[in-house]
Amino acid sequence: MIADIDLSPASREEKSVIASYLREYLAEFGFRGTYPYFDQYWLESTRHPFLIRRGGERAGFAFVRSLDGGATHEMSEFYVLPEHRGFGVGRAAVQALLPIFPGLWRIPVQVSNLPGIAFWSRVLGAEVPASEDRETVVFLRGVGSRAAGGSTGSSSPMFQVRPFEERDRLALETIYRECRSEATWLPSAHESSFARDTDGEALLVAVGSKDEPEGFVSVWEPEAFIHHLYVRNESRRKGIATQLLDSLATRLPKPWKLKCVRANDVALAFYLAHGWLEVSSGIGEDGPYAVLEKGPA
């Protein structure tokens, strides 16, 4: 049974305590230098230090940084003391902390920190995202405000996925054209036709709070083949592509297949990080490609 977990802002009087925990935390990664932003957590309004307690005993700390005028929040550091691990302290602390700051959360983790990656994947119930810089992976989570009278609140996506409606067509045509124009290995944008290239396929659309399309997935259902997955440029890295794929689970039996041009290394890394396996390869008019498959969990 998990002991009572308490999460509270760290006072100036507790600064020295967190400093000692921070040294232990950094030492686990082999870092012995000075943490450059430590003092700012008690000086800047956009930085928030928290102390974690378990059963009244100090059990760890968290550093949170607010970005984009408070619309985005980053878990800069998160640490549970070794003697308090294995009791659900980290999970309970995360569940208490995230709803304090509603909005989009970014949780960067060093690629080399395999236990940390496993922890955040497990606690967030999310697959491990692909690394864009080969140094960190960034988990993203949209979080609603704290429920009235609740202590931990709940997280909710900042978008939803629904079937295509005819009123979406113009927006999806724009997304399709703009995304393909970024891909130098594909035919030029004027050769692309959303209507032609998705004809006869099932379409699911990710929409924001105003029901405006943010992205879409297009599937040839007889073969469970995913032909198109696109997200609007300014809406990327919010988990939308993952949610679009997850939404297929209730309507498209696995295994699923798709073809990814090897020149699109970001997309290829994304699929491989999300459990897709390369089952064949070839060379087409757009260059070398990999055929990927996602089987039952």
Q: Does the domain at residues 5-143 carry the CATH identifier 3.30.1490.20?
A: no
Please tell me the least confidently modeled range out of 33-47, 95-109, 143-157, 236-250: 143-157
Please tell me the least confidently modeled range out of 155-159, 258-262, 282-286: 155-159
Q: In the structure encoding, which two tokens stand for residue 264, read together?
A: 């699109």
The confidence score (pLDDT) of residue 168 equals 96
Tens digits of residue pLDDT in 68-112: 788 889 999 999 999 999 899 999 999 999 989 888 889 999 999
Q: Which amino acid is at 253?
A: P
CA distances from 40 to 15, 47, 49, 169, 296 (A): 11, 7, 10, 48, 47
The answer to whether 117 and 85 have CB atoms below 8 angstroms apart is no
The confidence score (pLDDT) of residue 155 equals 38
Q: Is the pLDDT reported for residue 179 higher than 60?
A: yes
Instruction: Count CB neighbours of 265 within 10 A.
Output: 11
* Element housing 50 (H / E): strand 47-54
Strand order in the sheet with 5-9: 5-9, 47-54, 57-67, 72-80, 103-110, 136-143
HSE-CB at 205 with a 13 A cutoff on CA atoms is: 19
Nearest-angstrom CA–CA distance, 56 and 84: 12
CA torsion through residues 67, 150, 138, 279, sign: negative
The answer to whether 106 and 73 have CB atoms below 8 angstroms apart is yes
The confidence score (pLDDT) of residue 187 equals 64
Residues 6+ apart with CB under 8 A from 86: none
Question: What CATH topology corresponds to 158-236?
Answer: Aminopeptidase (3.40.630)
Percent of the chain with pLDDT over 70: 92
The confidence score (pLDDT) of residue 151 equals 36
Q: What is the pTM of this model?
A: 0.53
